[in-house]
Amino acid sequence: MRERAKRMRDSRVTISQVMLPSDANPQGNVHGGIIMKLVDEAAAIVAVRHSRCNVVTVAVDSMTFLSPIYVGNLVTFTASLSYVGRTSMEVEVLVQAEDPMTGEKTHTNSAYVVYVALDESGQPHEVPPLLPESDEERERMARGKERQAERLARS
Ligand SMILES: CC(C)(COP(=O)(O)OP(=O)(O)OC[C@H]1O[C@@H](n2cnc3c(N)ncnc32)[C@H](O)[C@@H]1OP(=O)(O)O)[C@@H](O)C(=O)NCCC(=O)NCCS
């Protein structure tokens, strides 16, 4: 039997990390790949918390970096579920960079990452349904369902 529904706020995570010289090019611009790795890590934690299973990334939507991130910036990744299928979960990650000296905050990019929960034999495993708590969350899930249908149509 499928597990009891869980709320978005039950699995939401926020992770912050200061960018170091080893994360950047010689001019101090943080590499996009560093941000993509942290997006995947934050989103995977959300998927594991919702499913309580091992999860694998099955799709990542295109990522556009709207403004640069520099060494010394505090980068915050806010990740939460936006859609849950039978075994798949779409997680939205919002990335914000803060200059800790001035307090100026910039939304640098957003991303959607889709995970599939796996059972002990590595097969896709059913996850708890997602329980919306407001009209806004219902709409968010409907948009996630549309995005997932588009991904499957493309693949
Ligand atoms: C993820 C994986 C187990 C899915 O296997 P599969 O044979 O396609 O399994 P299914 O057809 O049962 O699909 C499982 C779920 O994935 C979803 N899915 C499959 N392909 C997808 C795609 N391209 N985009 C989004 N979701 C996809 C399906 O819709 C299904 O979701 P649902 O149960 O919520 O409806 C398999 O593709 C895999 O192991 N991929 C490699 C994952 C990995 O190693 N990631 C890290 C890469 S570095």
Q: Is the CB of 145 under 6 A from ligand 1?
A: no
CA of 123 to the centre of ligand 1 (A): 10
Summarised one tens digit per residue, pLDDT across range 46-67 is 999 999 999 999 999 988 999 9
Work out which ligand 1 atom sits closest to the CA atom of 154.
23
Q: Which domains are present in the chain?
A: 6-154 (3.10.129.10)
For every residue of the chain, DSSP letters joined together read -PPPPEEGGGT-EEEEEE--GGGB-TTSBBPHHHHHHHHHHHHHHHHHHHH-SEEEEEEE------S--BTT-EEEEEEEEEEE-SSEEEEEEEEEEE-TTT--EEEEEEEEEEEEEE-TTS-B---PPEE--SHHHHHHHHHHHHHHHHHHHH-
pTM of structure: 0.96
CA of 116 to the centre of ligand 1 (A): 6
Residue 133 pLDDT exceeds 80: yes
